[in-house]
Structures are given as structure tokens and as C-alpha cells.
Structure 1
Amino acid sequence: MPIPPAGPPVTAARPPARSDLEALLSEASGVPVRLKHLERLTPWAVLRARTAGPGAGLPASVIVKWLRDDPDGLRDDPRQVHTELAALRFLSEDLGLGLAPRVLAADPAAPILLLEDLAPRTPLDRALRYGGALPPPPGLASFARALGELGAATAGHAEAYYARRSALGPVDARADRVWPEAGVWPRVVEQAAAFGTALPDPAGGELAGVVAELADPGPFLSLTNGDAEANNFLVAGDDGRLIDFEFAGYRHTLTSAVCLYVPGPAWLAVGDPVATGLEAAHRGALARSVREAEDDRLFGYGLACACLTWAAARLVRFPVLDARPAGDPSRIQMVSVLESAAGVAADRRALPHLAGWARRAALALRRRWPDADVDPAALAPYTPRH
């Protein structure tokens, strides 16, 4: 889950009025538009608005996003809506990409977005939950490929994106570049020492390199949506689209690939992307314009930095997990995350001291939480956490 942006949140708005949506669509299409039905969509806090009849190029339904209430304070900042608006228009209008929904109309001041309805595509995570990942469904390879295509198409175009974004309000491109997860390392180092897995000096030296790699990605700088997980990829067969660009920004492109190698919040395991061909799909697409992705050393180092940092960002939740009752699946997930990230680094022959520390931290948690001391081979790919 993304870390909230800096700055005070504003009071969240109720869903926009039907009349406001009709006015926006009418202005965008040039003809009067009436809506006959509004419905909430899960798992997202969005609406589907069905028009009384498509006309002037408008579809039969559109998706509505607005500034909304969020008890975690993650999605109640108008800058997030502005970011999504800029990112989606940048992709479709500036780059001509069909990787994400098109913006049909918008009111940045409200703020409200009316987006292309991607139905009948459905969330990839739903297919994985109910259909499993063996053999990998075509949507999974499409997801990996789309992440690579996004990186390849947007690399080198940061100036055009930030021109769009800055027109909607102040934005700090340098701050955008910092992956929020990287900011948790000091807390993680402190917590790890508290349960007997202090970071050794050589690992500290490697950590400085990790922070530098993520802060200055060089050729690996591209637009990411900021929350690359299977729930944010809508798919029908192998035809998929990326959604949820509220936390988009130019940062290390391999941060978006972590979800292929290390379990995200929904999963206990994700499988082997090399054996299943997911890495080839992602890396091949990325290398079409980011040639450095073909270099095993550069690709492997960046990937190891991103995976270990993701693991650290999850480990910061240790006090919460430690207070939960035995048998809570989040404990198994935490061990799996650490061991998966360490395995990525070992396979790439990168960051051996940090990888060793991650394995020791996982072992310490196995001993502390006997309920989490499970055989990772017994976890099927994309086993849900709940």
C-alpha cells in the first residue's frame, strides 16, 4: 500500500451529484447527456455511471472517481486526483498508449474524473484467487508485459509528464522520484536490532548503495502507477489495462516489477517468474527502449534493491504483527516476503550482506512465531493471505 503523501489532507467529499456528472459529460461530448443509473464498484471506491443512451462518441457507461473519505488517510488528498488525471492524459494523449483508461471528462477543481469503463475486463487478482496460478493464466503474462511496456514507453519523457502535472498544481519531480518504501529503512534497522538481527556493517554499506540506486535510477527512470499489484490490472484473457494512477510518478521502473517476485499485501507467495516466463515477458518489453534491461548485472542489481526495500517496508509492521494472535496469516506472509526478497538478491548475485540479513530476520521470526514456521514449498503461487 502506498505511503500517504506529505501535506495536510482535505475534508473528503461525498460522491458527486448526478447533475454535476451529467454537466461534465455534456460539456465533453457537446450534446446533452443523461445518466440513468449509478452503482458502486468493489473492490474500489468508484462509481459506474450508465448513460441513458450512448451518443457523440460516448460509451454506454463511464467510471467516476472523486475525492473520497479514507480512514487510513491515503486517498483523501486532491493532489492524487490531479496526478491520476495528468498521468492518464499523458499516456493516452501525449504517448498514444492504450495501457490505461482514457479520461473522458474531468473537473480538477472538484476534483472529479470520468474515465473509460474497461468492462468486461475484471481484476487479475480475482482470477488468481479463484482460478489459481498454475498454469499461469494469460492475464498474468499480460500484466508482466504491460509493466514493461509502461516503463519502455515513458522512459525519457519525464519533462512532458511534469508539464502536464504542474499545470494542475505544484509538484516536486525530485520528491516524486523517491520511492516511499525506501524511507522506512531507518525504522526497519532499528526494529530489527530490537529482536536480535541488527544490520552488520557490510550490510550498512550495501544499504547506502540501495538508497542511491532508487533515488537516482538513471536509464531505469520511468513512469510507474505507484501501486503495481494484480488488483490494479483489469484483464479479459490476455487483454489487460493498468488502473489506479493516484500515486503515479517517475521513479525506478523496477519498483513496479517487485510484485512479480515478492508477495504483495494480498498473497502469501507469488511463485517463480523466471520459470513461468513472467520475467521474460516484463524484461523483454522493457528492453525495447531501455536497453540496460538486457544487462544481467544492471537489471539484477536494480531488482534486488527494489525487492529488499519492499521487504523492509513490510517488516516495519513487525510490532503490529507481533501483537496478533498465533495463526494470523500475515505472519507467514512476512516470513515469505523476507525470504523471497533474499532469494531474488541471491539469484542475481547482488547485495549478499543485505540478503543474508533478510534471511536471518526471517529465521528469527520463524523462531519467535512458531505458527509462521512453514515450508515455503508448500505455498502454492498466489495463495491468498486470507
Structure 2
Amino acid sequence: MDPDVLQASARQMGFQAWDGQDELTGGRSQTVVVWKRDQHFVLKAYDPAGPSAGAREQSALHALDGASGTPRSLAEGVDPSWVLMSRLAGTGSLADALLGSDPEAARGALLSWAEALARLHEAGTPQVRAAFRTALEGRAPHLDARSLPKDFTDAAAKLPRLLDELSLPGHEAALSVLQDLPARLAGEEWEVLSPADACPDNNLLDADGMRLLDFEFAELRHAAWDVAYLRVPWPSCWCAWRLPDDVADEAVARYCSVRGAAAQESDFQEAIDLATMGWQVMTSAHFIPGALTDDDNARTDRPSRRAFVLHRLGQAACTSPSNALTTLAGDLHGALRERWGDLRLDQAPSFRL
């Protein structure tokens, strides 16, 4: 950790220096546990070339202020960008459970994740969302509080070249549908403050359930985008193993039960279906270029890009009723399967019998 960041963070807390530090593994930013006597904190320093250089996470933590068990922001710096957070209790994560050998433990952790997501969404009140927008504008005026539309626009821009390379039709209507899809899931009723990267490793399990971590990509978006993580599955995560359908359905039901009757109505269920298909096609567009040139199928610690791209496109192609986007997914799936073979996406290790 940068000595200047260590010193600045300690002094903001009223200390001359920390007694020590331990590096935490994983993640895109440099993160350490620091302590003074018996007080422990998490210090995170951001890459200035990163997607938001910490502004999204700093703004989200400020707005949430510890709600729903999230870390509290205790101090922060701008140049370089860093945040000092409260250290949450807990050991292990949903990723640990999914990569383990106990299917019941994995199922329980998945249900805890769904409950934690629901509680976090409930904590994102209109006042909290307004605080996030204000905080983000103050830290990074160039960043939009809603970043998902750009991801879909970028995906739609990448696809024409990929379609041409695969000798497929242009699918102009489908590209228009893809680009406009985030606008179909809009409005105040279901808008939430999302971590936008609620992957299986971005959480901690404790005796009371699960706490969600990592808000580096935080944004405002429809709740269905996060719930659909269970069905895609895990569109932004390295451990994107397949979940058993009944377990995924149970976790979605648990989320909806916590959120109440409105989440169980057909409109919200249809929004989850739409978000699932959107993730499956959009993320495939971003992963296909790398998968065409790099066969990472030999890895055993995570699914290969080719396997999860084929799974996502195959699932999207089967979405009912069929439309321009399902036709696009089907054409891509067929062309890529012809090149790569019929690769199967395995279930998470804990569910393999």
C-alpha cells in the first residue's frame, strides 16, 4: 500500500500511523486490513486508470452509510483516491460455498445472498438514491449514475463486426432492440442502488446471514438486473458456473418473498426474464472477441469463456416468445458451436453429484 495513503488514512482517524497492515487478496484495487491497537479497518486504494477511480464506491458507501450491513465509509482521499471502511465480521463467501463440496451449504449460502440482495435493494430508498447521485456528481461529474445503457450500446456496436466475421446476417433490428433494452427496464418503482457486481465472491457470510461488498461499479438501475444474476448466471463474475434450475428458482423466490407481493406479480417476473436475456446477449458480445482468439478451456478453476458464451446464447435463443434478439442469439450460438464444438457449461462444483 502507498505509504502516503497509509499515513493520510491514519491521520484522518486521529492516529500518527497504523500499527500494521495485512493485504487482502482478490479484487481490482489494492486492499489491506489496517489496525491501531484493537481497532481494525479496511483500506482500499483505487487505480487512477480504473473505470471510476473509486468515485462510484465512495459515493455508494456515503449514501448507504452502513445500511443493510454494508461497510461504513470512515475517511477518504482524492489524489490518490482511497477509502477507509469499517471491517465487517464474517468468514467465507458464496463463492467459497459454490466451489466447495456441500450442496446444502451452497444452497443455503445462495438463499442468504438472495435475502441480502433484497435487503440492500430495500435500503436504496429515494433519499439514498438521491444522495448517491449528488455524491457521484460531486466526485466525478463526468460519470452517469446509470451506466448500464452504455454497456448495451457498446455491445451493439461490437456485434456487426463479429457477425461479419462469422458470416452471419447483420441483424439490424436485433441490434436496435439490444441497445434500447435498458430503457425498457426503467422508472422509479423498481429503481435500486445496485453494487452492479454482486458476484459470489463479493460478500461475507456471518452468523446473521450475508453482507454484500464491493461497490466499485455502483449505479442506479432496475432491480431485475441484479436478480437475473441467478438465471444468467453471474454475468460479471469469473465463477460463472451453472446453477441447478430448481436452486436458482428457489433463490429468486426468496428474493421476491423478502421484497413483498409486488415482486411476485407478473410484471416483475417478466422484467427478470427480460434482464436475463439482455445479460446473456450483451455479455456474450463482450466476451466473444476474446473467446475467438484464446481457448481457455483447459482451466479447471473456472468455466471457460467459450463454455459460458455458448450456454448464455443457447439459453437466450430458447427464450419465449421468440423475437429479433432470440433469433440473433440462435444464429450466434449455431455459428460458434460449429467452430468450438458442443461445449457444456458445468454446474458449480458443490452441485455436481
Is the pair's TM-score, using the shorter chain for normalization, greater than 0.5? yes
SS in 1 for 2:99: helix
Report whether the alignment pairs 1:198 with 2:161.
no
Structure 1 residues 101 and 208: CA distance shift in structure 2, 3 A:
closer
Which of residues 50, 62, 65 is equivalent to 1:89?
A: 62
The offset of 1:296, in angstroms, is 1.6
Amino acid corresponding to residue 231 of structure 1 in structure 2:
D
The offset of 1:47, in angstroms, is 0.5
Residue in 1 aligned with 2:301?
A: none
Task: Please give the residue correspondences for 1:213-228 in structure 2 after superposition, counting only pairs within 5 Å.
Answer: 213-214=184-185, 216-228=186-198
1:203-235 CA-to-partner distances (Å, cap 9, x unmatched) read 457446524314x34522211112121111221
Amino acid corresponding to residue 369 of structure 1 in structure 2:
W
Asked whether the 8 Å contact 1:38–1:49 carries over to 2, the reply is: yes
Residue in 2 aligned with 1:282?
A: 255
1:305-332 CA-to-partner distances (Å, cap 9, x unmatched) read 3533443223333232122248453211
Asked whether the 8 Å contact 1:188–1:313 carries over to 2, the reply is: no
Which of residues 102, 119, 125 is equivalent to 1:149?
A: 119
SS in 2 for 1:228: coil
Residue in 2 aligned with 1:74?
A: 50
Structure 1 residues 313 and 326: CA distance shift in structure 2, 3 A:
closer
Amino acid corresponding to residue 228 of structure 1 in structure 2:
A
Residue in 2 aligned with 1:36?
A: 19
Residue in 2 aligned with 1:242?
A: 212
Structure 1 residues 16 and 142: CA distance shift in structure 2, 3 A:
farther
Residue in 2 aligned with 1:123?
A: 93
Report how many aligned residue pairs link the two structures.
340
Which of residues 29, 32, 51 is equivalent to 1:47?
A: 32
Amino acid corresponding to residue 98 of structure 2 in structure 1:
L
Task: Please give the residue correspondences for 1:166-177 in structure 2 after superposition, counting only pairs within 5 Å.
Answer: 166-170=137-141, 173=144, 176=147
Structure 1 residues 186 and 218: CA distance shift in structure 2, 3 A:
farther
The offset of 1:109, in angstroms, is 4.7
Structure 1 residues 209 and 167: CA distance shift in structure 2, 3 A:
closer
Residue in 2 aligned with 1:381?
A: 348
The offset of 1:65, in angstroms, is 0.7
The offset of 1:171, in angstroms, is 5.2
Q: What is the TM-score normalised by the length of structure 2? A: 0.82
Q: What is the TM-score normalised by the length of structure 1? A: 0.76
Unaligned runs of 5+ in 1: 1-12, 27-31, 54-59
223-232 or 255-264, which moves further after superposition? 255-264
Q: 1: CA distance between counterparts of 2:213 and 2:104?
A: 25
SS in 1 for 2:33: strand
SS in 1 for 2:35: strand
Asked whether the 8 Å contact 1:191–1:316 carries over to 2, the reply is: no
Structure 1 residues 254 and 36: CA distance shift in structure 2, 3 A:
same
133-142 or 218-227, which moves further after superposition? 133-142
SS in 1 for 2:42: strand
Structure 1 residues 309 and 18: CA distance shift in structure 2, 3 A:
closer
Amino acid corresponding to residue 56 of structure 2 in structure 1:
T
Asked whether the 8 Å contact 1:197–1:360 carries over to 2, the reply is: yes
Q: 1: CA distance between counterparts of 2:110 and 2:271?
A: 24
Amino acid corresponding to residue 329 of structure 2 in structure 1:
A
Superposed CA RMSD in Å reads 3.2
Residue in 1 aligned with 2:40?
A: 61
Task: Please give the residue correspondences for 1:344-359 in structure 2 after superposition, counting only pairs within 5 Å.
Answer: 346=319, 349-350=320-321, 352-359=323-330
Structure 1 residues 206 and 168: CA distance shift in structure 2, 3 A:
closer
Asked whether the 8 Å contact 1:182–1:211 carries over to 2, the reply is: no
The offset of 1:362, in angstroms, is 1.9
Structure 1 residues 135 and 42: CA distance shift in structure 2, 3 A:
closer
SS in 2 for 1:62: strand
1:31-74 CA-to-partner distances (Å, cap 9, x unmatched) read x4652221111113301112223xxxxxx3110011237xxx53
Q: 2: CA distance between counterparts of 1:276 and 1:15?
A: 48
1:167-204 CA-to-partner distances (Å, cap 9, x unmatched) read 43425546546362453123224413431443657645
Structure 1 residues 143 and 341: CA distance shift in structure 2, 3 A:
farther
Asked whether the 8 Å contact 1:267–1:333 carries over to 2, the reply is: yes
Q: 1: CA distance between counterparts of 2:16 and 2:322?
A: 57
Amino acid corresponding to residue 272 of structure 1 in structure 2:
D
Residue in 1 aligned with 2:13?
A: 25
Structure 1 residues 98 and 327: CA distance shift in structure 2, 3 A:
closer
Residue in 2 aligned with 1:56?
A: none
The offset of 1:236, in angstroms, is 2.7
Amino acid corresponding to residue 326 of structure 2 in structure 1:
A
Asked whether the 8 Å contact 2:178–2:282 carries over to 1, the reply is: no
Q: 2: CA distance between counterparts of 1:132 and 1:33?
A: 46
Report whether the alignment pairs 1:333 with 2:308.
yes
